């Protein structure tokens, strides 16, 4: 059994003071993918014994960034989406190769208020889909991270009032559907197609978390054909420390 986790920590150094280390010791992930680390590797005044750690930090300090902690040394590690001229300054993707699959840790760009960044988001989505499609031709792929979209109305508390907003625009939802149609399965909905009130992010405003007025925007997607390996797919909504909670995928050996 392999335990994979993903967590948008909204600043790893801050999260370290809010229960991150306790979470790591309690859950003992085989792999933990992080988004919004908001730091450079040299700023890490902490170690994680037993783990290899790989960083992809944004050029802009205190912004974005991803990291992967893994107990098993990967076959290979690569960063970003393979372009020299774009998508390589914000630290948004790390691909870790294991013997029987690729694991892609991703922090998808936010479309921002008023969909100010929607054009870039659409470009990113198309390039990302092509990138993981290329990987999938070699071996199965698992995609995890903050994908900044609630795909269906069941995936957020207030779909009607959020229609067209960043994270629930028709454009973003269509791109997620395109990604799934290209050969991926949403592991959580595969097991729990009708489960309501299951969210992974809550605004810091309006006591949203206390009221569970959230969004499910953190995912584990697996290549079609890997469904039989899914033991469970969980949202660890009780875990504090960020405005997101961790999500978990348990794979059968």
pLDDT in tens, 77-110: 999 999 988 999 999 999 999 999 999 999 999 9
Nearest CA to 90 among 55, 124, 59? 59
Output the pLDDT for position 176: 98
**110 a known binding residue?**
no
- The band of 119, judged by pLDDT with boundaries at 50, 70 and 90, is very high
**42 a known binding residue?**
no
Residue 134 has pLDDT above 90, yes or no: yes
CA distances from 186 to 117, 140, 190 (A): 25, 14, 6
Output the pLDDT for position 85: 87
How many Cβ atoms from other residues are within 10 Å of residue 15's Cβ?
23
**27 a known binding residue?**
no
List of domains in the chain: 2-251 (3.60.10.10)
Q: Which residues of 198-227 are buried (b: 16+ CB within 10 A; e: fewer)?
A: bbbbbeeeeebbeeebbbbbbbbbbbeebe
Output the pLDDT for position 167: 98
Rounded distance between C-alpha atoms, residue 187 and residue 223, angstroms: 10
Rounded distance between C-alpha atoms, residue 184 and residue 186, angstroms: 7
Helix (H) or strand (E) holding 162, with range, is: helix 159-162
How many Cβ atoms from other residues are within 10 Å of residue 84's Cβ?
7
**8 a known binding residue?**
yes
* Active site positions, annotated: 107, 146, 244
Rounded distance between C-alpha atoms, residue 223 and residue 43, angstroms: 35
């Amino acid at each position: 059994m392999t335990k994979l986790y993903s967590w948008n920590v909204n600043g790893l150094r801050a999260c370290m003071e809010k229960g991150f280390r306790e979470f790591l010791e309690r859950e003992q992930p085989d792999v933990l993918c992080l988004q919004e680390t908001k730091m450079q590797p040299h700023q890490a005044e902490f170690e994680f014994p037993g783990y290899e750690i790989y960083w992809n930090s944004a050029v802009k300090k205190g912004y974005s960034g991803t990291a992967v902690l893994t107990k098993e040394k990967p076959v290979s590690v690569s960063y970003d989406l393979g372009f020299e001229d774009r998508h390589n300054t914000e630290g948004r993707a790390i691909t870790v190769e294991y013997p029987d699959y690729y694991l892609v840790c991703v922090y998808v760009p936010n479309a921002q208020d008023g969909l100010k960044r929607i054009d870039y988001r659409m470009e990113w989505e198309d390039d990302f889909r092509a990138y993981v499609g290329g990987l999938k031709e070699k071996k199965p792929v698992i995609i995890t991270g903050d994908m900044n979209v609630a795909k269906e109305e069941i995936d957020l508390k207030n779909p009607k009032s959020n229609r067209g907003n960043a994270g629930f625009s028709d454009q973003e939802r269509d791109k997620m559907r395109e990604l799934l149609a290209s050969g991926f399965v949403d592991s959580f909905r595969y097991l729990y197609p009708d489960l309501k009130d299951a969210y992974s992010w809550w605004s810091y405003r309006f006591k949203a978390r206390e009221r569970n007025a959230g969004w499910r925007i953190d995912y584990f997607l697996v290549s079609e054909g890997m469904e039989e390996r899914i033991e469970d797919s969980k949202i660890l909504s009780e875990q504090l420390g960020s405005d997101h909670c961790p999500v978990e995928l348990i794979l059968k050996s």
